[in-house]
Amino acid sequence: MLKFSLYDNEHGMKKLLLSILLALHFCVFQLHAQVSGNNDYNAGSRARANNQYNSQQVLTYAAANPLDRPIVLNDKEIVVTVNGLFNVIPEDFVATFHIVQTAETAETADQLLNERIKKFRQKFLETGGDATNFHVDMISFVPKYEVETENKLFSKTYNEIPAGFELQKNISIRYRHSAVLDELITAAASAEIYDLVKVDCSVQQTRSLIDSLRRQCLREIRIRSQSFEITGLKMDTLKKTISENLITVYPQTRYFTYQAYSRPSQHFARKKTAAPAYNEMAKTTSSYYSQLDYDRYDLIINPLVLEPVIQISCSVAVKYFLHAETKPANDCFLLTPAGELKKFNLK
C-alpha cells in the first residue's frame, strides 16, 4: 500500500501526482487462478477461519492491499509500505505420541507399557533413526477405582475400591524429513500406540531468512519511492523513518476442518400424514492445510509449495516527511560586565 501527500503550493504537482497514484492503483490488480474443492460445502469455513486468524495479526493488512482502503492524500508525508512473505520448508520435526496402559497392579502396568515403548523404539531404530532422537516423558501414574455396593438392612452404601492402575507417558521423536512420519505411524501401530498428539516443526538459520526477506522488501520500497521523483520530489533528500513487523506462522495453526456432503431430498415424507423416522448417518469430518492467502502480499518468495510450510511475514514501511524539520535557533545572548547584551551563535 502507498500513502501519499504533497505540497499544495507547487503548481500542478498535486494533479500530476494524483494521476500517478490512480495509475498505480489500477496496476495492482492481479489475476488468481482458483480451484474449488469439497471445502466449499462447508459454507465458507475457510473464509471464517481466515477472518478469525487475520483478526489476531499484528500487521495491518488493510494497509498492504490497495483494494482494502482508498488512497490518502495530505500535505505532510509519504508512506511507502511493502508486505513480503517467505514460504520456508521445515527442516526439523518432532512428533509426539501418547501412550496409556492400565493393569491390576502397578508392576504389571509398568512392565506392559515398557514393553510397548521398547518395541516402538526398536522399530524406530530399524528405520535408521537415532536413539538420541527418541525421548520418553512421564505424564501420570494413578490408581483406578470402582464402586462397590454395600447393602444394609435399611440403607445402601457405595464404596470406592482399588481396581488397578493407569500409567501414561508421551513419546517425542525428532526426524529430518516429513516422509518419515508415515514410518513412525506404522511403527507406533505395531506397538499398539494410536494417539499422535501433534507434530511440531522448525527451521534453522531463521535470522538469515528474515534478513533475505527484509532486503527484498527494502529493494521494492526503493523502486516504488523512485517513481515519485517524476513529480520533482527528491526522495533521498527528505527526512524519513522506517518501521517493520515480523510474524512467523507455523503449519499446525493453518489446519481447518469441514464436512462435505449433500442432504438427500425428503419428498417421501410429504406423502405420509405422519413424518417417518429419519436416521441420519454420521458425516465424516475432513481436515486440510491452508496457507496464508497471497493476495495480501506484494512479494512472495517460494510461492509454489507441495507441503505445509513455515511462513515468515515481513511488513516494512518507510515514511518520508515533506516539510523540512525546523531547527532550533542557536543564538545566545551574553550580558557583559559593562551591562551590554551581546548576541552570538553556538555551532
272-323 pLDDT, tens digit each: 556 667 777 888 888 889 999 898 899 999 999 889 999 999 999 888 888 7
Task: Please tell me the predicted confidence (pLDDT) of residue 184.
Answer: 95
Backbone angles phi, psi at 330, to 5 degrees: -100, 10
Would you call 250 exposed, middle or buried from its count of C-beta atoms within 10 A (0-12, 13-18, 19+)?
middle
> In this structure, which amino acid lies at residue 106?
A
- Determine the average pLDDT of the residues in 105-133: 94
Which part of the chain is CATH 3.30.70.2970?
92-202
- Concatenated DSSP letters for 46-95? HHHHHHHHHTT-SS-GGGT-TTTS---EESSEEEEEEEEEEEE---EEEE
Does 76 score more than 60 pLDDT? yes
- Determine the average pLDDT of the residues in 42-59: 43
Higher pLDDT, 331 or 109: 109
* Rounded distance between C-alpha atoms, residue 130 and residue 173, angstroms: 9
- Cell 469441514 belongs to which residue? 258
Task: Please tell me the predicted confidence (pLDDT) of residue 346.
Answer: 60
Domain 92-202 belongs in CATH node 3.30.70.2970: yes
* Rounded distance between C-alpha atoms, residue 242 and residue 219, angstroms: 13
Give the model confidence (pLDDT) of 90-107 as tens digits. 999 999 999 999 999 999
Which segment, 20-24, 148-152, 269-273, 291-295, is predicted with the most confidence on average? 291-295
Which element (helix H / strand E) includes 222? Answer: helix 206-226
Does 71 score more than 50 pLDDT? no
Does 156 score more than 90 pLDDT? no
Give the model confidence (pLDDT) of 223-251 as tens digits. 888 887 887 878 888 888 888 999 999 99
Does 18 score more than 60 pLDDT? no
Which stretch of 20-29, 111-120, 190-199 has the lowest confidence by average pLDDT?
A: 20-29
- Determine the average pLDDT of the residues in 204-227: 91
Does 188 score more than 50 pLDDT? yes
Q: Give the chain's mean pLDDT.
A: 77
Does 183 score more than 70 pLDDT? yes
- Cell 551574553 belongs to which residue? 334
Q: What percent of the chain has pLDDT over 70?
A: 69
Does 166 score more than 80 pLDDT? yes
Which stretch of 18-27, 75-84, 199-208, 246-255 has the lowest confidence by average pLDDT?
A: 18-27
What lies within 8 Å, CB to CB, of 302 at 6+ separation is 86, 87, 88, 89, 309
What lies within 8 Å, CB to CB, of 39 at 6+ separation is 45, 46, 256, 258, 260, 286, 288
Beta strands in 75-229 (DSSP E): 77-88, 92-103, 134-151, 156-175, 195-202
Band (216; pLDDT cuts 50, 70, 90): very high
Q: What percent of the chain has pLDDT over 90?
A: 39
Does 124 score more than 50 pLDDT? yes
Task: Please tell me the predicted confidence (pLDDT) of residue 324.
Answer: 54
* Rounded distance between C-alpha atoms, residue 38 and residue 77, angstroms: 47
